[in-house]
Amino acid sequence: MTAPAAALPLLPGATLGVLGGGQLGRMFAHAAQAMGYFTAVLDPDPHSPAGRISHHYIQSGYDNAAGLAELARVSDAITTEFENVPAATLATLAALRPVAPAASAVAIAQDRAQEKAHFVRCGVACAPYAVIETAAQLAAVPAELLPGILKTARMGYDGKGQVRVNSAAELAAGWDSVGHVPCVLEKMLPLALECSVIVARGRDGHIVHLPVQRNLHHDGILAVTEVYTSNLPVALAQQAVLAAKSIAHELNYVGVLCVEFFVLQDGTLVVNEIAPRPHNSGHYSHNACDISQFELQVRTLTGLPLVQPRQHSAAVMLNLLGDLWFAHGDGDSVQTPPWDAVLALPGAHLHLYGKQEAKRGRKMGHLNLTAATPEAARATALQAAQLLGLPAF
């Protein structure tokens, strides 16, 4: 059962709910509030980044019936900031209020095996793979999938839940090490680069996109995103946008969807994974585009018109992990990074998520560097990286 679509669009003055109080929920709430909406956040942690800045905060687990009922009571429509929300939670809420994205789409995005099957349905190339749920499937893995990456089907993020395996013996040991949970084994591909595309699709099927983002990861975590026309061959970027749109369309998706791609050394485009929400690689859109990915999330949830965003500045985004707070990389003494020096750079925009405590590997914020030209954006980003002690890219 779905809530009546006739109630949409929800105009400013309505209350928008979000499951999850992390940085993505916080930036969604900021975008909604800037447009005159009220916000409600449900998260178990009373110090969550989004909970602390929201009009309503509901301290509750994601499967707590009373907490979900309260979120539905105060909200006119509800979205999620993370894909590992139980599918039953979204289904429960959808019986009471408009919810986007739908439980059915989130269920596909939260399971790598279903996600891959969806790519195959869409005719978009992905890495050769095998699903491993039983010992028989493990034994039947074709040799040409090795060397490969064994990925848990569920709950993986930022490179967690992954084991690189070179042989059948390592594969068996890898499956042991993850406790025999359902997995996908992917063939290790020769990557030239990684990129992603963010699309936003409304209930009427209208779809818009942000420009293609080129991404650099360190230790499985996004480190740098660069967005300007010369960052990728034009034909490849067009192919990525078309593939992302068809993946969203085939899901009958409503909301903001990020599609991650690999570009192989021979120039082939291969889809990697999808995230049913705004994405770290889209954070540059706050300062480099006339509509950010979070405003797109507000527009899709409320049924407001979707207008094609325009990028007005070349952009580089640097992720700010908790490691920056630890002087010179080792020791336990915490120090505030030199924000004053960083903010003296032209086109520097600091976004911090208000997290209580810096921890190594924890996403604390990001820095957007915008400029009139790609060269200038890169030059200031490299200066910022040097000031912060981040590696050059």
Give the span between the Cα atoms of 362 and 249, in whole angstroms.
Answer: 33
| Neighbouring C-beta atoms of residue 327, cutoff 10 Å | 13
CB of 158 to ligand ADP, least distance (A): 5
Q: What tokens were used for 128? A: 């050769």
Q: Check residue 188 for interaction with ligand ADP (CB under 6 A).
A: yes
Q: How far is the CB of 217 from ligand ADP (least distance, A)?
A: 5
* Contact status: 217 vs ligand ADP (CB under 6 A): yes
Q: Which of 191, 327, 334, 343 binds ligand ADP (CB under 6 A)?
A: 191
The number of CA neighbours under 13 Å toward the Cβ of 146 is 15
Q: Which of 120, 17, 136 is nearest to 67 (CA)?
A: 17
272 is a site residue for ligand ADP (CB under 6 A) = yes
> Is 194 a residue that touches ligand ADP (CB under 6 A)?
yes
Which residue, 41 or 150, has its beta carbon nearer to ligand ADP? 150
- Residue placing its CB nearer to ligand ADP in the complex, 127 or 348: 127
Among 8, 108, 127, 130, which residue interacts with ligand ADP (rule: CB under 6 A)?
127
**Interaction between residue 263 and ligand ADP (CB under 6 A):** no
Q: Which is nearer to ligand ADP, 84 or 383 (CB)?
A: 84
CA gap 313, 307 in Å, rounded: 18
Whichever of 133 and 158 has its CB closer to ligand ADP, that residue is: 158
For residue 150, give Cα distances in angstroms to 145, 169, 260.
10, 13, 18
In whole angstroms, how close is the CB of 292 to ligand ADP at the nearest point? Answer: 22
Residue 254, interface with ligand ADP (CB under 6 A)?
no
Closest by CA to 297, choosing from 306, 308, 287, is 306
Residue pair 20/4 in contact by the 8 Å Cβ criterion: no
Q: How far apart are CA 319 and CA 287, in angstroms?
A: 15
How many residues make contact with ligand ADP (CB under 6 A)? 17
* Closer by beta carbon to ligand ADP, 76 or else 186: 186
CA–centroid distance for 147 within its chain? 27
Task: Examine residue 224 and tell whether it contacts ligand ADP (CB under 6 A).
Answer: no
> Which residue lies nearer to ligand ADP by CB, 5 or 191?
191
What are the helix (H) ranges across 140-264? 168-177, 234-250
State the residues that interact with ligand ADP by CB under 6 A.
Answer: 127, 149, 151, 156-159, 186, 188-189, 191, 194, 217, 220, 260, 272-273
